Amino acid sequence: MKNIYDYRLEDLKEYFKNINEKEFKATQVYEWLYKKRVKSFDEMTNIKKEVIERLKQDFSIEPLKILKKQIDTDVRKYLFELSDKNKIEAVLMKHDYGNSLCVSTQVGCNMSCAFCESGRLKKVRNLNSYEMVSQIIQVEEDLNIRISHLVLMGIGEPFDNYDNVMNFIDIINEPKGIDLGARHITVSTSGLVPKINEFANNPKQVNLAISLHAPNNEIRNKIMPINKAYPIEQLIESVKKYINKTNRRVTFEYIMLKNINDQEKHAVELSKLLKGINCYVNLIPYNETSHIEFKKSEKEQIMKFYDTLKKNNINVTIRKEFGKKVSAACGQLRSNYEEEK
């Protein structure tokens, strides 16, 4: 049985047409789901009983279960249990510009980035669109807030689950639904070049972030195996084509790893690599975990790296650090929970 949160408004209109009902009922159902946040079909009081019975027959409406929460200043981390008992995470971060939610797109991840906790647990399966939608709904209800920004940077590689992710974006962008503006949605990829090329054809103005984390192939090959399939030259070429086609700025994510990629020479190399590209670099202080040997760069080193990029006319920011009291690394809460069990 398909979960109703998997359906775009157009799909639901098609469904009603196929059961010889008026299309406008799809809009009514959407408003009950996303504006009034009902928990059952029986609460949809302006829809006739026989249609309600048909909906109950054809769709499930169950949300994800919140298994565990960790709370710190301006951050909340959620561990969800899926219907098949698999676990995923989402992280809510409170910024001065609004509430940003980082969602997962897969159970586990096959990208095997050496510094990433998520990649220690291999991909079990892709998430369906409704499982991504439910992460938003559950967090909004738990905190009685509205999510204003969304990043697909949780467990998994979004472009390795491309169709479900694009369907999910359509659902949450729908004005009759969650109505999250495309420019407030960011999709992050470790560098699946064919999917970046495909994403360039998407008409929605969704943001693209590239998990770069190294200025050259030598370092990137060691910490990100995906680079062996799509080396930096290919990746940068696809980004340039994307920018030419969409006229949108790209973010390059760069985790600062002590004595690996954080020296001044790396900043100079990175500046040369990105020269002339409409982008900005987001320097990310590393969240250390007990399972992985990488260490976080010293604050002073991060600032030197930042200054070098600035001097070379690269737009750069340093990501605010969240969650010193929570399992901050992506996938860490999930792996800790599984190990405790």
Say yes or no: 95 and 55 in one domain.
no
Gap between the Cα atoms of 326 and 77, Å rounded: 7
Question: How far is the CA of 232 from the CAs of 62, 123, 189, in angstroms?
Answer: 42, 24, 13
- Run of H or E residues at 207: strand 207-211
User: What is the CATH number for 50?
Assistant: 1.10.150.530
Instruction: Lowest mean pLDDT of 57-66, 94-103, 168-177, 285-294, name the range.
Output: 285-294
Say yes or no: 129 and 231 in one domain.
yes
Say yes or no: 220 and 242 in one domain.
yes
What integer is the mean pLDDT of 163-181? 98
Say yes or no: 140 and 54 in one domain.
no
287 lies in which domain range?
65-340
Question: Whole-prediction pTM value?
Answer: 0.94
Say yes or no: 101 and 180 in one domain.
yes
pLDDT at 141 over 60: yes
CA atoms within 13 A on the CB side of 208: 34
CB 182 within 8 A of CB 173: yes
Token representation of residue 63: 């949300």
Say yes or no: 143 and 235 in one domain.
yes
Say yes or no: 156 and 303 in one domain.
yes
Total tally of structural domains belonging to the chain: 2
Domain boundary among 13, 29, 60: 60
Gap between the Cα atoms of 325 and 201, Å rounded: 41
Say yes or no: 250 and 109 in one domain.
yes
Say yes or no: 208 and 329 in one domain.
yes
| 235-276 pLDDT tens trace | 999 999 999 999 999 999 999 999 999 999 999 999 999 999
Gap between the Cα atoms of 119 and 334, Å rounded: 12
How far apart, in Å, do the first and last CA atoms of the chain sit? 30
Report, as residue numbers or ranges, the catalytic residues.
89, 330
| 36-79 pLDDT tens trace | 999 999 999 999 999 999 999 999 999 999 999 999 989 999 99
Say yes or no: 45 and 124 in one domain.
no
